[in-house]
Amino acid sequence: MLQATPYTPRFTNLVAMFSHATDLYQSRPLFGVRHDGTWRWVTYGQFAEQVASCRSALDTLGVRRGDRVAVVSSNRLEWPVAAFAVLSLGATWVPMYEALRDAEMQFILNDCGATLCFAGPLAGRLRELLPSLRVVSFDDWSTFLADGAKRAVPPVIPEDSDIAYFIYTSGTTAQPKGVKLSHRSVAFNTSALVDTFPLSPEDRTLAFLPWAHVAGALTELLAVISNGASAAICEDPKELLTLLAEVHPTVLIAVPRVWNRIYDVVSKSIESRSKPVRALIRAGLAARGQRGRGSPIGFWARAAAALVGWLVLAKIHAKFGGQLRYALSGAAALSPEVAQFIDNLGIKVYEGYGMSESASVVVANRPGGQRIGSVGKPIEGVRIVLDTDAPGASDGSGEIVIYGDAVMAGYNNLPEETARVVMPDGGLRTGDLGRLDADGFLFITGRVKEIYKLETGKYVSPAPLEEALTLSPYIAQAMVHGSNHPHNVALLVADLPTLTEWAKPAGLGGLEPAALVEHPKVRALYRSEVDRMSSDWRGFDRIVDFLVISEEFTIAADLLTPTLKVKRRNVMTKWGEKLDALYKRPS
C-alpha cells in the first residue's frame, strides 16, 4: 500500500482555473495554429474573448447549467474555445472522436442526452444520423462567434462537485461507458500533475494527442493553460516530425507507438552502417546508459559516448526541435527496452499511468525519481492499494486500486457497473494488475480482463507479450491467444514496408502481400523473430505457433478502438477459426 500525503490543490474548479490563467497571462501566447506553413499565435487574452463570444452564442441557443454539449472533432482551436464556453455556462462537455462509427456516435449522443453538438467535417453526417439534434458546424465558426459578440453573458462558476466532463471509454468488449468527471477531480489532477512536472510560461508543447481522450485534454490542454505555457496545435499527427522542428517544444507528451517508431527508425539506421561504425555506436550508447545510471566509465567509453553524441544524437535532437527538456509517455505500456534505448539517446521520457476513470495520470515517473520499466510513484493526493486476492494476482502482485479526489463520480446510467468498480470506501478498481518494488515504484503486470488460464492451470497476461513481439521490425501488431488451450499461439500482422525490403534480396520481391506472408521463407523469418523477442519469457508464455497476416488491425475495420486498443472479441470473430486450427497441426 502507498499512502497519500496531505495535498491541497491549487485549483478545484476548471472555470476558476481558466479565469485565473487568462487574467494573469493575458498577453502571452497560448495556442499556435499553422496555416499555409506559417504559425499564428493566439494569446490568452484573445482566447478569453473568443470563449466569451462562444458562451454568449450558446446562451442564445438555450444552453443552460447541467446541459450536455458534445463535440465530434479532431484537435483545432475551436475545440478548447467551445469547451470552456460550455464549462463556463455550468454545462458538461462531452468530447468524441471523429473515427467513431455511426452506431457509436448515436449511442453516445443519446446516452449523454446532448442538447447540442459541435462538429468539424462530420457536421452533415451528424444531422442525418440525429435530425433532432442541434449541430453547430465549425465551418460557420466566424459567424457563430460574431453573433455571440453582440451581447455579454457572464460566466457561471459551477460547484466543484458539478460534472465537467463525460469521457466515453473505448469499448473494447461492449458499448462505451460514459465516465463522469467532476470539476474537482479534473482540476485536482491538473494541479497535482503540474506540481509533479513543473511548467512555466516559457514552456511549449506540440499538442497532437486527441483531446477527446482525457490524457490529451489533461496534459496538453489543461496543464498548459493552468501555468501560462503554450501549445502548438497539430491537426494531423502524420505531420508530427515536420512540426516538431518548426515549433521547438520544450515538453512533449506522446504515446508508446511514437517511441517505438523512433526505436525502430534509429535501430535500422544503426544497422545500415558499416560494422566498425555499428560497433562504435553501440558502445557509445551502452556507455551513455551506464553513465546515466551513475556507473563509472573509462576513457574509451567516454570517447565513444562523445562520438555517438556527435554522429547520431545531435541529429535526433534536432528533429525534436532542439529544445526538448523532457517528455511524458502514457496510454499504454512502454517497453523497458525501448525506454532504456530512448534514455540512452539523451531524451528523458517519464512514463506514467492512469485511466479515464481516474481523470488521467495518477502515477508517474518524474525528474529525480525515475525507474525504467515502472510507471513511477503516485502523484500528490493519490493513494495506491494492491488487491492481492484479485484473479491472476501472484508473486506479490494485485489489482491496482486508486484512492483520491481524481476518482470519477461514476458511469452515466450504469449504477451496477459503477458499483462494480467504485468500492464503498471510494477506491477505484482499475482492472490492471501491478506490483510495488521496495522503493514504492509501481510496475504494471497485466490486465485482469485479458488474463486467461491455459489448460495447464498457468495464468497468461497477453498484453506485455504482444508489446514485446511488436519490437521486432517485422511485426506491426500482435495478438496472443491461448485461453483453455495447452499453449499460446499468436496472430502477427506483418510490417509490410520492412518485410517487402527483406523480400527483395530473398528472391520474393514479386509476391503480393497475401502470398508473401505465407511463403516458407517468410515463416522461417517470423519463427526466428518470435524466438528472439521471447528469449527471456517464462516457458508457458512462449509462442508455440503463429499465423502471419498482411491485413492491418484498423479502426475502420472495427478491430481497434479510437485509442488504438485491440478489440480482441472482433479479432477473434474474424481470425479465431484459423488461430484455433493452429492447435490441430504439429508444433
Q: Are strands 360-364 and 349-355 parallel, antiparallel or unpaired?
A: antiparallel
Query: What three-state secondary structure class fits 404?
Result: coil
Share of the chain above pLDDT 70, in %: 91
Lowest-pLDDT range, 199-203, 210-214, 255-259, 377-381? 255-259
Lowest-pLDDT range, 262-266, 349-353, 527-531? 262-266
CB atoms within 10 A of CB 504: 10
Task: Examine the pLDDT at 583 and tell me if it is beyond 70.
Answer: yes
What integer pLDDT is reported at residue 484 of this predicted model?
A: 85
Lowest-pLDDT range, 95-104, 357-366, 392-401, 471-480? 392-401
User: 171 or 138: whose pLDDT is higher?
Assistant: 138
pLDDT band with cut points at 50, 70 and 90 for residue 305: low
pLDDT band with cut points at 50, 70 and 90 for residue 30: very high
Q: What is the pLDDT of residues 180-223, one digit of tens each?
A: 999 999 999 999 998 988 889 999 999 988 899 888 888 889 99
- What does pTM read for this prediction? 0.84
pLDDT band with cut points at 50, 70 and 90 for residue 296: low
Phi and psi torsions of 93, nearest 5° = -95, 130
Instruction: Judge whether 129 and 117 are in contact, CB under 8 Å.
Output: no
Q: Which domains does the chain have, with CATH numbers?
A: 14-185+206-223 (3.40.50.12780), 258-447 (3.40.50.12780), 454-584 (3.30.300.30)
Lowest-pLDDT range, 72-86, 240-254, 313-327, 354-368? 313-327
Q: pLDDT averaged over the chain?
A: 88
Q: What is the pLDDT of residues 337-365, one digit of tens each?
A: 788 778 777 778 899 999 999 998 999 99
Distances (CA, A) of 316 to 204, 320, 324, 558: 19, 7, 11, 35
Task: Examine the pLDDT at 324 and tell me if it is beyond 80.
Answer: yes
Task: Examine the pLDDT at 372 and tell me if it is beyond 80.
Answer: yes
What integer pLDDT is reported at residue 288 of this predicted model?
A: 64
What integer pLDDT is reported at residue 179 of this predicted model?
A: 96
Report how far residue 151's alpha carbon sits from residue 153's, in angstroms, rounded to the nearest whole number.
7
Share of the chain above pLDDT 90, in %: 56
Q: Is the Cα dihedral 114, 430, 354, 222 positive or negative? A: positive
Which three cell numbers, joined as nine digits, stand for 181?
A: 468527471
What integer pLDDT is reported at residue 238 of this predicted model?
A: 79
Q: What is the pLDDT of residues 405-463, one digit of tens each?
A: 999 999 999 999 999 999 999 999 998 889 999 999 999 887 777 778 888 878 788 88
DSSP line for 10-21: S-S-HHHHHHHH
Q: Angle at Cα 408 formed by Cα 90 and Cα 433, nearest 5°? A: 160
